[in-house]
Amino acid sequence: MDTIYAQATAPGKAGVSIIRISGPQASDIERYFSIKLPPIRQAGLRSLRGADSDLIDEALVLRFDAEKSFTGEATVELQTHGSVAVIRDVLDILSTIPGFRLAEPGEFTRRALENGNLDLSQVEGLADLIDAETRDQRQQALRVFSGELGRKVAEWRKDLVRASALIELSLDFSEEDIPDDIAEEIAGLLGEVHEALSREIEGTHAAERIRDGFTVAIIGAPNAGKSTLLNRLAGREAAITSEIAGTTRDVIEVRMNIGGLPVMLLDTAGLRETHDEIEALGVQRAVQRATAADLRIFLMSDADEAFPIDALDGDLRLWSKADLNPQRVPGISGFSGTGVADMLAEVESTLRARIVPSTAAVNHRHRTALIRGRDGLDSVLERIKEGESAPEISAELVRAVIIDLESLIGSVDVETLYDEIFSSFCLGK
């Protein structure tokens, strides 16, 4: 197996840069940099020198054996000064060592998976952690990276293996002679796993929103103050504001961190009947995006105002331009900031109420595997309820459910996913 290397920190100038080396020949760098590696898991300050004994840098060097490293292989890390010249010279020397090559994107993590240090769900959690921009994204990613989903799969698998064994045990009895306690235990085990899968599936939608971001649409009539409010929330001129009705023609998006939740705010075209073809397209797009949004903020400017979109539970209805009409409550003004803090608090509260904290499944792949597993249990439970014969079929259906759940952590049937998942990683991870 090749020994791989890559810069593990972002390219460019920095106080410190880390270059990671992993593989069976990692210790060969001793000869090429004229250093003696420090003891395992101890840091040592070393003078890195090139072939001509020219000093490249004073670096902190760490060494890990295969049993204690991230990749499950012998690993060396060079913590150099973050100089472009230093990093270039170090990488150039590494490229000359026989058996060494530059790592591919995500290859360090892929080796950790192949060596059993991580399961597939933990790899996905690590990718989400690297991409995390808000507190809730970080916390969710850490929960997955810690192996929570793998632990749940292990518990479900244990119960399903027990149920399958009991079903096969029932083959030794005639249908009338199956002891009641065995039948009850089988139904109980399958029912508990079914309930757990249902809870997990229910929470995946909100978990995906934490991962990818909630969408909140600001809608209202022309000149209701939508763009001014968006600019206030963004802290910059994200949208053009004007007294001319119909200024906003397209949907303008602004990413925000609201109380730790990732939110995409949408400023939409003013909702009205219009003969302007371009504005009409903007209104149509506004209705489509607002309908699909997780939450809508209706800015009202008239008591008899009607919207072409129905308000759903949790949607906010606020009087616009509260600085000019303070008697209308609840009101909001993007111009003065009146009511903005209260609106943000309500948005956070509403979105947070939709989160299932115990969910460990956080993406579409997870949800699909869980649904397949639950559907398989539905079939088994229905057979048991109807008193179907041929328990060997039920046992085989339970084994299929186990395979579906094991695919969550990469034990089976996921080779085709590897290239796609690891392509999102940087070279040094």
- Structure confidence by residue, pLDDT tens digits, 77-103: 999 999 999 999 999 999 999 999 999
Query: Using CA atoms, how far apart are residues 273 and 267, in angstroms rounded to an integer?
Result: 18
Confirm if 359 and 204 have CB atoms less than 8 A apart: yes
Return averaged pLDDT per consecutive 10 residues of the chain, 429 residues in all: 93 92 95 94 94 91 93 96 94 95 93 92 92 91 92 93 82 56 84 93 88 89 82 69 47 87 85 65 79 89 71 87 83 87 93 81 91 93 75 85 89 54 61
Confirm if 110 and 119 have CB atoms less than 8 A apart: no
Nearest to residue 19, comparing CAs of 40, 4, 2? 4
For residue 342, what are its two tokens?
Answer: 């209260």
Beta bridge partner(s), residue 76 = 21, 63
Nearest to residue 34, comparing CAs of 48, 22, 24? 48
Residue-level pLDDT at 311? 77
Query: Using CA atoms, how far apart are residues 52 and 204, in angstroms rounded to an integer?
Result: 58
Residue-level pLDDT at 228? 85
Residue-level pLDDT at 241? 46
> pLDDT digits over 195-214, tens only?
999 999 988 888 888 888 89
User: Can you give the chain as a three-state secondary structure string?
Assistant: CCEEEEECCCCCCEEEEEEEEECCCHHHHHHHHCCCCCCCCCCEEEEEECCCCCEEEEEEEEEECHHHCCCCCCEEEEEEEECHHHHHHHHHHHHHCCCEEECCCCHHHHHHHHCCCCCHHHHHHHHHHHHCCCHHHHHHHHHHHCCHHHHHHHHHHHHHHHHHHHHHHHHHCCHHHCCHHHHHHHHHHHHHHHHHHHHHHHHHHHHHHHHHCEEEEEEECCCCCHHHHHHHHHCCCCCCCCCCCCCCCCCEEEEEEECCEEEEEEECCCCCCCCCHHHHHHHHHHHHHHHHCCEEEEEECCCCCCCCCCCCCCCEEEECCCCCCCCCCCECCCCCCCCHHHHHHHHHHHHHCCCCCCCCCCCHHHHHHHHHHHHHHHHHHHHHHCCCCCHHHHHHHHHHHHHHHHHHHCCCCCHHHHHHHHCCCCCCC
Query: Using CA atoms, how far apart are residues 10 and 8, in angstroms rounded to an integer?
Result: 7
Beta bridge partner(s), residue 300 = 319
Nearest to residue 397, comparing CAs of 168, 150, 152? 168
* Distance between start and end Cα atoms, the chain: 18
| Cα three-residue angle 29-30-33, rounded to 5 degrees | 75
Q: Does the pTM exceed 0.85?
A: no
Residue-level pLDDT at 254? 87
In the block, residue with structure tokens 């909702």: 271
Confirm if 270 and 222 have CB atoms less than 8 A apart: yes
